[in-house]
Amino acid sequence: MEASAKSASRGIFDSANAEARERVAALLQKAYWMEIETVMSYIAASVNLDGVRAQEIKESLSEDVEEELGHARRFAERIKELYGVVPGSEGFAAEQSFLQPPAEQTDIVHVIRGVIEAETGAIEHYTRIVEETDGVDPVTQDMTIEILHDEQGHRRLFEGFLREYEAEGIA
Ligand SMILES: [Fe+2]
Ligand SMILES: [Fe+2]
């Protein structure tokens, strides 16, 4: 009785939770790749866009690159702490078809919509991690909630940018 109580206190590191630990590590791997791809897409967009009106978007994306990179690092460190292995580059498969460079580099609306879609995807996946870690791994859950908060802020900002273009009939 005492022994089981003691081992249960190890939470996600308890041997009985090995399966949950592997499942959480796999979810974190996907999150890690999402962040890495977002870094690639945001660097490209922050450089590619042309025009006076693009400046605000470019600056915002440049700042986001640093934040998304920080997220990737946090997910990587947590994978390691859960005894997983941070994947090598050959495990990467691109998914952000919607964030490829537009035909015209003045097409700001294309980029804004792409960013909203990327952030929405992150929000959905991180919400799933929060749900799956509930009562199982509060440390991963806490960390993911913080990152989820950042993504909600990013999406809200770009929704505001889109609204401006919609109001002018450009989007
Ligand atoms: Fe992120
Ligand atoms: Fe983000």
- Summarised one tens digit per residue, pLDDT across range 27-53 is 999 999 999 999 999 999 999 999 999
pTM of the complete model: 0.92
Give the distance (Å) from ligand 1 centre to CA of residue 147: 6
Give the distance (Å) from ligand 2 centre to CA of residue 104: 24
Q: How far apart, in Å, are the Cα atoms of 159 and each of 29, 109, 142? A: 28, 11, 26
- Summarised one tens digit per residue, pLDDT across range 122-153 is 999 999 999 999 999 999 999 999 999 999 99
Q: Is the pLDDT of residue 5 over 50?
A: no
Which of the ligands is closest to the CA of residue 117? 2
Which of the ligands is closest to the CA of residue 156? 2
Largest CA distance in the chain: 70
Residue with tokens 């035909």: 103
Give the distance (Å) from ligand 2 centre to CA of residue 33: 13
Note whether 145 and 130 are within 8 A (CB).
Answer: yes
Residue 166 CB neighbours (<10 A): 11
Which of the ligands is closest to the CA of residue 71? 1
